[in-house]
Structure 1
Amino acid sequence: MSAPNITETFLENFHHVATIGATDRGGVHRPAATEEDRRTRDWFRAFAAERGWEVSVDGIGNLFARVRLVEGAEEHTPFILTGSHLDSQPRGGRFDGAYGVIASLHAAAEVEQRIAAGELVAEYDLVVVDWFDEEGGRFAPSIMGSSVYAGLMDREEMLDVADLDGVTVREALESIGYLGSDPAPSLDALAGYAEIHIEQGRILEREGLPLGAVDSSWYTQKLDIEVLGEQSHTGATAMADRRDALVGASHVVLMFQEICREFPEETLVSSVGQVTVEPNSPIVVNSRVHLVADLRADDPQIVKDARERLLERFAELGERLGLEIVSRDFDVRPNLYFPVEGVELVEKTAADLGMGIRRIRTMAGHDSIPLNTVAPTVMMFIPSVDGVSHCEREFTTDEDMVSGLTALVAVLGRMLGGELSGVGFPGSASD
């Protein structure tokens, strides 16, 4: 009997990992540093150990597997990095993030075999990574592990971040055995990063294309909002005497929905993603509501204009309802452009493989965004059915996953051969 090929092994492993934290409606529940997250990380370690790769965990929980491809290589040998994340949103989809990690592991194994067979020549080692807390569903801000690695967030500050139950990142990582002490692969030796991900939108599906080359990211502005009222009795307090924070927060939520209609269609997206209500008792008028919202657009001025309008309306609402509404900006992410040389490399690869492709922008954040500030970065998308994500209905076909894996193997082969050596980063709008 012949050994299973890369496609069979990849699909078998992908669908196996999807059983870890599986929900009853086809999704997964694997928030960062939970028991389910630990089990997927243990699977990653076992995959790497079986192939003799070197596994390490850094001080923010990023998990690395180094594939030695350069003969006589030492610790500071330059390397190409590839991967994504294994954590999920609460009751999220099984493709978001996990596809990129599992595809990277299998692509690394395939590249290693081709180099051993003399079919490829590598100038660099290859490192596969599972970034900690990309989703930000349990610990905010999102894209935490990769941002710490890239030097954009402070590790000690992030270790002190607590979830809604008061558990810190440090405590959570310790509890699952993934608060590492290994040094992260050196930024000085990082020669490039590649990530493949589901699109989480409907452009590729609508156009019937199997691959997208990401050329830029949207501008993102998040707001941390407190609506402050006064706690009182739901039965005994006269309506005129109530200062109900939840009523005010309800208006705020609708404002984020309505603001998008004031700009050209599909130029602005906005939502309130998290709401915490206090004291949240059936017979108490609520005194405090905490909301986390975001505004995203390709044009930064649209986001800035929307924010200003919302702040004016918060002030008017607070005065009308006798509430205090406090808004704080955080996690502001500018447009970021990926090196045009990397985009063209993906396009050439697709042409060689006979795959249709288009350039595409990402509206969502990904680990590739902080990585693009420290190394030439390549980001690829594969189609999402119906364009839905962060939900149990999230879906991508086996055929599209395999096509993406094929492209990733070819792209990594080119990057390991030095095709992005000396490329500047990040790119620019003129690219």
Structure 2
Amino acid sequence: MTTTDAVPGVPRVPRRPGADARLLADFVDLSAIGATAAGGVERQAATPDDGRSRAWLAAWLTERGFTVVHDRVGNMFGLHEFVPGAPYVLAGSHLDSQPRGGRFDGAYGVLAAAHAADRLRVHYRDSGETPRFNIGVVNWFNEEGSRFKPSMMGSAVFTGAMPLATALDTPDAAGVTVRDALQAIDGLGEADVFGTDRRVCSYAEIHIEQGRELDKTGTTLGLVDATWAANKYEIAVIGSQAHTGATAMADRRDALYGAALAVVAVRELADRFGEDLHTSCGQLTVVPNSPVVVAREVHMHLDLRSPSDDLLAEADALLRRQFAEIEVKADVEIERRVAHTWKGHLYQPAGVELARTVTEDLGVSSMIVRTRAGHDSTNMKDVVPTVMLFIPSVEGISHAEAEFTRDEDLCTGVDVLTETLARMLDGALAPE
């Protein structure tokens, strides 16, 4: 028997008794891996704790009949085939975290996808129905970009936005490459999981908002229709090493002074443009970092984001001019070395409308939001129809141990994701 079209107002997949309790218990278990004293987690990409979280997920999926495989950049997939040879509807997020990060960011999206996919597996097994497509759960490698830069690395390689060799050769601060780190946790596959014989036809991701729009309006679900543009780049401020006491002030080429001026310039850009521009200096490395030495070099990671491509370009041009002034004032050189940028883009309207219809049918409040943060769906939407959903973050706190989302929102999010995936399996986003 084949599935029929979804009936408005009627869930395609009824909720099973105890579903919420199982989800929350699994979330507690997953959050214990790499747990920090203040209630967060630290599972940077391809560290031992990241490896343990991946092993936990692999065991969970395997116990429920999913086939677990890794691709050549460490993306991890749990696959369940309903129709041999049919394409896959993929859902997921990432298990890696920031240093002393929150336990919800990324990990909730992976666990939600796993629970939603398993509900679908059980539903089709028990109903005797057969969907049009297969289902897959994904844990993307190195979404956070804290240990290895840039962020969203696994999905970038998967979608062709980054060469595989570039990703595998990327070192962390200690010189350990992605390739070696993945091999150390047994996370490196030998082949591409998807290609000619196995294809992805659509993608869905659910994530905490990491902002406060949903929380302050009392809205349960965010329907993401667009992403902010971003310019992320590393610069080096080059000066000359000298003695902090003996060297005359006029003779100093203090790289740290130049870097400090750059940090102020970046913040003043945000002040100039208001909420339409977010800026930061998220990482600063001082060389030689000695208390009695004027710094000879400073490495910095800068981040500019805006909903407007034009505004971002204007801000970037202004920053270049300010860098030229800083070079004169501090007698240093500023080199832009590595860049990672993306334009602001719309998610496919059909995916947004599908998610809106699902929330309406389930009686869940929703609103349209833009994502200011980057997500793996940012890459996936460029290659397949994609749905991106948000659940509230209390007070908008994220990338911090105080990150929090209420249990009822975690559970409702899985309900909405399950129904969305059910309709995608029925062909809701498939080309006619």
TM range (shorter): over 0.9
Corresponding position: 1:357 with 2:366: yes
Q: Which runs of 5+ in 2 are unaligned?
A: 1-15
Question: How far apart, CA to CA, are the structure 2 residues paired with 1:218 and 1:56?
Answer: 32
Report the Cα offset of residue 120 of structure 1: 5.7
1:59 aligns with 2:72: yes
Letter of the 1:64 counterpart: F
Distance 2:403 2:180 in 1: 31
Question: Structure 1, residues 364-392: CA drift from partner, whole Å, max 9, x if none?
Answer: 10000111111100000000001011111
Q: Which runs of 5+ in 1 are unaligned?
A: 424-431
2:127 equivalent to 1:114: no
Residue number among 253, 257, 266 corresponding to 2:267 in the alignment = 257
Measure, in 2, the Cα distance between the counterparts of 1:405 and 1:236. 64
Q: 1:408 aligns with which of 408, 417, 422?
A: 417
> Which deviations, in whole Å up to 9, do the C-alpha atoms of 1:387-416 show, x marking residues without a partner?
011111111011110010110010000000
- For the Cα contact (< 8 Å) 1:350–1:357, is it kept in 2? yes
Q: Which amino acid aligns with 2:19?
A: I
Aligned counterpart, 1:184: 193
Tell me by how many angstroms 1:48 deviates: 1.1
One-letter amino acid of the structure 2 residue matched with residue 224 of structure 1: E
Q: What is the aligned partner in structure 1 of residue 18 from structure 2?
A: 5
Distance in 1 between residues matched to 2:64 and 2:176, nearest whole Å:
35
Does the Cα contact within 8 Å between 1:277 and 1:289 map onto a contact in 2? yes
Pair 1:228-2:238 in alignment: yes
Q: Does 1:203 align with 2:213?
A: yes
Q: For 1:224-271, what per-residue CA distance to the aligned partner results, in whole angstroms no more than 9, with x for missing partners?
A: 2111000011122122221111111011111111111111x3111000
Equivalent in the alignment of 1:427? none
Task: Look up the SS of the partner of 2:335 in the other structure.
Answer: strand
For 1:120 and 1:390, locate their aligned partners in 2 and report how far apart those are by CA, in whole Å.
Answer: 42
Q: Distance in 2 between matches of 1:117 and 1:247?
A: 67
Q: Secondary structure at the match of 2:286?
A: strand
Give the distance between the partners of 1:184 and 1:142, measured in 2 at CA: 21
1:419 is matched with which residue?
428
Task: Give the distance between the partners of 2:276 and 2:129, measured in 1 at CA.
Answer: 44
Find 1:341's aligned residue among 332, 337, 350. Answer: 350
Match of 1:325 in 2: 334
Alignment partner, residue 278 of structure 1: 287
TM-score after normalising by structure 1: 0.94
User: Residues 56 and 182 of structure 1 are in contact (CA less than 8 Å); yes or no, is this contact kept in structure 2?
Assistant: no
**What is the rounded CA distance, in whole Å, between the counterparts of 2:387 and 2:234 in structure 1?**
31
1:182 is displaced (CA, Å) by 3.6
Pairing of 1:378-389 with structure 2 (within 5 A): 378-389=387-398
Cα displacement (A) at 1:69: 1.8
- Residues 221, 329 of structure 1: 8 Å contact kept: no
How far off is 1:6 after superposition? 1.7
From 250, 253, 277, the equivalent of 1:240 is 250
Q: Which amino acid aligns with 2:200?
A: L
Q: What is the CA-CA distance between 1:153 and the residue it aligns to?
A: 0.4
RMSD of aligned C-alpha atoms?
A: 1.4
Q: Secondary structure at the match of 2:404?
A: coil
Could you tell me how far 1:329 is from its partner in structure 2? 6.0
Aligned length: 416
Answer whether contact 1:120 1:413 (CA < 8 A) is retained: no
Q: Quote the offset at 1:183 in angstroms.
A: 2.5
| SS of aligned partner of 1:102 | helix
Aligned residue in 2 for 1:153: 162
Matched, 1:29 2:42: yes
Task: Answer yes or no: is 1:296 the counterpart of 2:305.
Answer: yes
Distance 1:37 1:120 in 2: 37
Q: What is the identity, as a one-letter code, of the residue corresponding to 1:348?
A: T
Q: Pick closer, same or farther for the CA change 1:244–1:267 going to 2, 3 Å.
A: same
| Matched residue, 1:175 | 184
What is the CA distance between 1:328 and its match in structure 2?
4.2
SS at match of 1:142: coil
Indicate the percent of aligned positions where both proteins have the same amino acid: 46
Equivalence for 2:3: none
2: CA distance between counterparts of 1:209 and 1:343?
Answer: 16
